[in-house]
Structure 1
Amino acid sequence: MQSVSIAIIGSGSAAFACAIKAVDRGAQVTLVEDAKVIGGTCVNVGCVPSKILIRAAQLAEQQRRPPFTGIQSHEPQIDRALLIRQQSDRVEELRQAKYQNILDENPNITLLRGRARFCDARTLSVRSSDGTEQTLRADKFLIASGAQPTLPSINGLAETPYWTSDDAVFAEDAPQHLLVIGASVVAVELAQAYRRLGSEVTVLARHTLLRNEDPLLGEELTRVFEGEGIRVLEQTEASRVTHKEGEFILETNSGEIHGDRLLVATGRNPNTSGLNLDGIGVEIGPGGVVRVNDALRTSIPHIFAAGDCSDMPQFVYVAAAAGTRAAINMTGGNARLDTSTMPAVIFTDPQVATVGMSEQDARLCGIETDSRVLTLENVPRALANFDTRGFIKLVVEAGGQRLLGVQILAHEGGEVIQSAALALRNRMTVEQLADQLFPYLTMAEGLKLCAQTFAGDVKRLSCCAG
């Protein structure tokens, strides 16, 4: 069988997952990348550096406000330059280990530097930084060009030295007062991190925090934020931004707001505008997102897409799974990507973790639901931690009691949600979940306790009652 040639636009998680699987199945792969470094968003400016920053901020907060009375609190001494140096070193280490080493060790993967554009459905034009161009023909293509921060349409904003998340995760200076425009994942994660690292923080939410999630998650997270001194302005939009003598001035419907730094975190748009997708007939959606089916095929069968430029959920693990499945399908296989039981985590503290349907989702699908909310003072691990902020919510199908979705706000909620995802994947009922053995004094035991509330009052159970 003749080797399949595959051209991949991008060098992030989706691109490398596809390349690795494709060469394992006998293909020849060329990656086309115009960024200075390989690896895409996650390792360079997203998941890895942001989670390092968030963890450092969490440890600082534990020094400032330990939950145990026998541990003396004190204001942490924070050296931002040292933190950023350590963070950057780890990013470079992971980029080398997970991306560059793969290129160096695999002769069947070639990296071509330059900006790609489709000439036709079988040919790419690649323009290098010195202006020279070359063409690249392939049997199959993967569009894995990623996404970039969105800039909202606010008068004056583009003329100011605002931050995107790319800037905020590596900033060595600590703002006195950070203003955050946005109320979703990146906005809430970085808002809390900067507050814990010593900045005053104000969040401008056009609606409420985490508007696209179950409303209880946003309500409770807002309570947590306000308890930490973060000012949350709901139903607030900026109409104009100016920057004078080191100060940002935001004109909003809630009045004039001042701060020395401004973070704009209102989402990300796909990097597809220069690819000529319209010209070759690839179907795109709002904002230039590439439409794909569950086999990762676009409207042109030999062209695939994966990662943040596609209409799949914007999570790195989805991107990698999509890239792998695309490679299988490019090389004669038949793989599908099912995201119906995809867990998601927002790395605030407590963490927001979800899987499956919310009550609102089920209602839109015409499914009648039942649900229970267990507050964390009913979870022994949370009591032992002296941190009972948050809840666990189970949504089930009325009648049959099959689990439909789980929403969690809890310390280490991201570690708990995978158990819930497996329960959904196996179509468990709450009775079956309640009958499972969970280790005592784990946060995951909260899933069992919440399941037990469908049949009775867990306050009337003894410790670790089965």
Structure 2
Amino acid sequence: MAADSLPTETEVLVIGAGPGGYVAAIRAAQSGLDVTLVEKDAYGGTCLNVGCIPSKALITATDIAHEASEAETMGISADIDVDFGRMTEWKDGVVDRLTGGVEKLCKGNGVTLLDGVASFTGENEVEITSDGTRQGVLAFEHAIVATGSRPIQLPGFSFDGQRILSSTHALALDSLPDQLVVIGAGYIGMELSTVFAKLGVDVTVVEMLDQVLPGYERDVARVVRRRGEKLGIDFRFGEQAASWKPTTTGVRVSTRNEDDERFEYDGDHVVVAVGREPVTDTLNLSAAAIETDDSGFVWTDEQTRTSTANIFAVGDVAGEPMLAHKASKEGEIAAEVVAGTSETIDPRAIPAAVFTDPEIATVGMTEAEAEEAGLEPIVGEMPMRASGRALTLGETDGFVRVVANGTTGTILGAQLVCPDASELVAEFALAVETEATLTEVASTVHTHPTLTEAVMEAAANAHGAAVHTLNR
């Protein structure tokens, strides 16, 4: 990173250059404000460097290899040779290009960039240190905290980067293991498990609950579990990781279930993927009277303002949902509020995606959530086995489901588990944001043959008017 000289004061201080921080800095600078952005590691934060981008690069590469090896039914036979070293180099090149672009965008918009750590010394001042050395004090009128999150360490499984790996370590492996034990079947654990299983790694997933992707509806998660089992992933549900010990070739993990039965699994490495925690330990939040919740996340209101009026917090450090696009939107809102607007964020219309096989994407309410809110929802669904485009792709697992207000027809949410779900959900996100109705979506002509037709058919199905699937 190239840093500018330390100023003594700034109108807007942004702490952290991830997808929340750099977006906030750029938007504030575009509003004519004097902006200083402080980053201790690399521009782009977790998302660009060790999260979203490198993982999706590996997912894309492994999908290509897997699809080619499984294409015999289409009359294609291929002998696939995966060079994991070159794959890793390509992934790293994608990361470098994007992180370098972030730095150029910030500088091009007039943002002052500082390398170091910012720690509050008051409600209008921070101390800047670099490599443990004090660089000076920076006064600010407004601050935006965007320090992100990091992997949670499981007791007894401290990360060492050799045997016990975080998701960051797993994405940086320079050679393929033969065996891998993954603790946690959430979205990070499932994405990584799928990647390595497609590369021929023997993967065991230990999950203390009774399904993959806890928090998602069971019929959605079930599709991903079945595909994982076809890939050879060994799921061990209802088991809790208890301890580990080194072996001559790697590590042996001991687990136990609720009946105190004990089990052991061997691997070259263990990947611990049990969630993420906010990064606040270097901020000295108490000096600025910034309040946090019981889990350590910074409290914010609908304008991303913290308990201290001139300080805002965006992204993972402000809590769930911990999504890069949510961070970016919050960064824009924080900057615009600082600039004098009255913007707010509506969490209902923030989609989420899991890049498993098949992908999962959701937005807004589920049927159960709508009922809990006192509404009378109606539901429409389109199975991918009835989609012409899904058949031509050889990807017919899953479905597209829409939930709407039974009285008004307004779309409340959607759940998708299907090819390209992360792309298809955008139409439903727009529908939730604009309060569009089932009729408006169903009557919109969708290109044929495409996966987007499933969105149209699901909306029609809710009213009993679908043509290409049996109506409810």
TM over 0.5: yes
- Alignment of 1:101 with 2:104, yes or no, is yes
Q: Distance in 1 between matches of 2:460 and 2:76?
A: 35
Match of 2:358 among 340, 350, 353: 350
Query: Cα offset for 1:451?
Result: 2.3
Q: Which residues of 2 match residues 177-256 of structure 1 at below 5 A?
A: 177-207=179-209, 208-253=211-256, 255-256=263-264
Q: Distance in 2 between matches of 1:110 and 1:132?
A: 19
Query: Cα RMSD over matched residues?
Result: 2.1
- Alignment of 1:89 with 2:123, yes or no, is no
Q: Is the 8 A contact 1:183 1:205 kept in 2?
A: yes
Cα 1:69–1:341 shift into 2, 3 Å: same
Cα 1:103–1:374 shift into 2, 3 Å: closer
Q: Which residue matches 2:37?
A: 31
Cα 1:17–1:245 shift into 2, 3 Å: same
- Alignment of 1:22 with 2:28, yes or no, is yes
Q: Which residues of 2 match residues 283-298 of structure 1 at below 5 A?
A: 283-298=291-306
Q: Distance in 2 between matches of 1:139 and 1:457?
A: 57
Q: Distance in 2 between matches of 1:218 and 1:387?
A: 17
Q: More deviation in 47-56 or 162-171? A: 162-171
Match of 2:119 among 117, 120, 133: 117
Q: Distance in 2 between matches of 1:366 and 1:134?
A: 55
Query: Cα offset for 1:461?
Result: 7.2
Q: Distance in 2 between matches of 1:394 and 1:294?
A: 26
Q: Distance in 1 between matches of 2:191 and 2:469?
A: 36
Query: Cα offset for 1:119?
Result: 0.8
- Alignment of 1:78 with 2:82, yes or no, is yes
Q: Which residue matches 1:174?
A: 176
Match of 1:270 among 271, 278, 292: 278
Cα 1:460–1:333 shift into 2, 3 Å: closer
Query: Cα offset for 1:212?
Result: 0.8
Q: Distance in 2 between matches of 1:28 and 1:157?
A: 41
Q: Distance in 1 between matches of 2:117 and 2:468?
A: 64
Cα 1:328–1:176 shift into 2, 3 Å: same
Q: Distance in 1 between matches of 2:469 and 2:214?
A: 35
Give identity over the alignment, percent: 29
Query: Cα offset for 1:231?
Result: 1.4
Q: Which residue matches 1:368?
A: 376
Q: Which residue matches 1:321?
A: 329
Q: Is the 8 A contact 1:312 1:318 kept in 2?
A: no
Cα 1:412–1:457 shift into 2, 3 Å: same
Letter in 1 for 2:361: A
Cα 1:331–1:104 shift into 2, 3 Å: closer
Which consecutive residues of structure 1, in runs of 5 or more, have no partner in the other structure?
none
Cα 1:158–1:343 shift into 2, 3 Å: closer
Q: Which residue matches 2:6?
A: none
Q: Is the 8 A contact 2:127 2:134 kept in 1?
A: no
SS at match of 1:418: helix
Q: Which residue matches 1:10?
A: 16
TM-score, length-normalised on structure 2?
0.91
SS at match of 1:334: coil
Q: Is the 8 A contact 2:380 2:463 kept in 1?
A: no
Query: Cα offset for 1:279?
Result: 3.7
Q: Distance in 2 between matches of 1:56 and 1:381?
A: 22
Cα 1:236–1:343 shift into 2, 3 Å: same
Letter in 1 for 2:120: F
TM-score, length-normalised on structure 1?
0.92
Q: Which residues of 2 match residues 46-61 of structure 1 at below 5 A?
A: 46-61=51-66
Q: Distance in 2 between matches of 1:49 and 1:93?
A: 12
Q: State the Cα deviation string for residues 357-416 of structure 1 (Å, max 9, x = none).
A: 112322332333232433211111112222211111222223433322111111111121
